[in-house]
Amino acid sequence: MTAPGPAIAPEVGTELPPLSVRVTRADLVRYAGASGDFNPIHWSDRTAAAVGLPGVIAHGMLTMALAGRLVSNWVGDPGAIRSYGVRFTRPVVVPDDDEGALIEISGKVSALTDTGPGERIAKITITAAFEGKSVLGRAVAEVAVPPS
C-alpha cells in the first residue's frame, strides 16, 4: 500500500505535473451524498445568497481532496501520502452551468528528508487557484518517495 511510485526521481524544486479540475454543481451534489455534508450553501443559490456568499460554493474538503490528487497522480499511490494539511482561505464559487468552476492545481517538492533505509519523505507544497486567486493556503503534503 505504501510502496512509492516507480518512475519519480524527485529533487528539491521538482515541479509536479500541473492539474486542472473542473467542478460542477453535480459534483457538489455527489460530494454531499458521499460525505454526508448537506449544508445547502453547496447546492442552494437562495441559501448561499442569504448568508452573503457570491454563490454556491464547493465543499472545502472537496477542494482539498482534488488538490491532493496532484500528489497521488504524481507518486502513483495514494497510500504513499503520509500527511496532508491546508488552510481554507477562499471559497470556490461554482456557477449553475455545464462549465462549473475550474481549479488550477500545481505544486513542487519543497523538502526531501531521509527517514530510514530505503525511504525518503518529500514535502510537497501545493497551490490551488480559482480565477487566478489561491483558494488553499499552506497546503502541504508529505509523501513517501523512492530513495535517491
Cα–Cα separations (whole angstroms), residue 38 to 31, 69, 71, 88, 139: 9, 23, 28, 19, 25
According to CB under 8 A, which residues from 89 to 148 bind its own copies? 91, 137-138, 140
Select from 40, 55, 79, 125 the one that contacts its own copies (CB under 8 A).
79
Q: Is 141 exposed, middle or buried, given 0-12, 13-18 or 19+ CB atoms closer than 10 A?
A: buried
Told to check if 78 binds its own copies by CB under 8 A, we report yes
Q: 70: closest CA among 61, 57, 82, 81?
A: 81
Nearest distance from residue 113's CB to its own copies, in Å?
15
Told to check if 25 binds its own copies by CB under 8 A, we report no
Residues that bind its own copies in the complex, under the rule CB under 8 A: 1, 21, 27, 30-31, 33-37, 39, 41, 51-53, 57, 59-62, 64-66, 68-69, 72, 78-79, 81-88, 91, 137-138, 140
